[in-house]
Amino acid sequence: LVLSTIPVIMMAETFNMMEIVNCQAGGIQNWFIIRSFPFNLLGAIVFFTAAMAIIRMNPFSAPQAGPDVAGGQYYEYGGIRLGISYLARYTNLFILASTLSILYLGGWEPFLPSLSPVPGVVWIVIKSLVIIFIQLWIHRTLPGLRIDTITGESWRILFGLSCIGIVGTGIYSIF
């Protein structure tokens, strides 16, 4: 997850989220997912995939122990405890979706500069809800993977894509 944010930090030349969004002002053509096209798109895909793995959504929700196979949190918790567990999970989902929209999709900046009278909170909520919709769609569509497959593919594919994104953004920034 951290490696996928490095190309954005390289493009914005800052760690400050406000400055990252300000670098993307002026419409969709200035968003980091569009600028230095293939490399930041790779970073956004890696961030999206790693966010799903952190939240333990399918295909990354592999059971690891006997009670998890039998029922997991449904077996252990009931009533308000299960509700709080779900609240924490979906709050984390919204925070990661908001972070993705800030880093790659312009944050609270509108799609077009002519739509700037709409408040920024509305834009970030819309972008975050679209990301959440896509994550829940993937979560409900794909089956779960085994834990060895998850870790193996994470190291081989996601780590490699992150490194390609970092090197490509560095080369793009030089020229």
| pLDDT for the residue numbered 73 | 59
pLDDT at 173: 83
Whole-number Å distance between alpha carbons of 172 and 32: 12
Q: CA of 167: how far to CAs of 45, 102, 105, in Å?
A: 16, 22, 21
Report pLDDT for 68: 53
Token digits for 130? Answer: 């679209």
Question: Which position has the higher pLDDT, 149 or 94?
Answer: 94
User: Which uninterrupted H or E stretch holds 22?
Assistant: helix 17-23
Is 125 a residue whose pLDDT tops 90? Answer: yes
CA torsion sign for 73, 87, 132, 37 is negative
* pLDDT computed for residue 91 by the predictor: 94
Indicate the pTM of the whole model. Answer: 0.84
Range in 60-64, 83-87, 102-106, 119-123 with the lowest mean pLDDT:
60-64
Residue 158 has what pLDDT? 87
Q: Can you say whether residue 143 is alpha, beta or left, with left for phi > 0 and alpha for psi between -120 and 50 degrees?
A: beta
Above 70 in pLDDT, residue 114? yes
Residues 33-86 have pLDDT tens digits of: 888 888 889 899 999 998 888 887 777 776 655 555 555 656 667 778 888 888
Interval 139-172: pLDDT, tens: 888 877 777 787 887 888 889 899 999 999 899 8
> Under DSSP, is residue 16 helix (H, G, I), strand (E, B) or coil?
coil
- Mean of per-residue pLDDT scores for the chain: 86
Residue 49 contacts by C-beta under 8 Å, 6 or more apart in sequence? 158
Residue 59: asked if its preceding bond is cis (omega within 30°), the reply is yes
Work out the burial of residue 25: count CB atoms within 10 Å of its CB; fewer than 13 is exposed, 13-18 middle, 19 or more buried: middle
Q: What is the pLDDT, as a whole number, of residue 80?
A: 86
Q: How far apart are CA 106 and CA 128, in angstroms?
A: 11
The per-residue pLDDT for 53 is 85
pLDDT given at position 62:
65
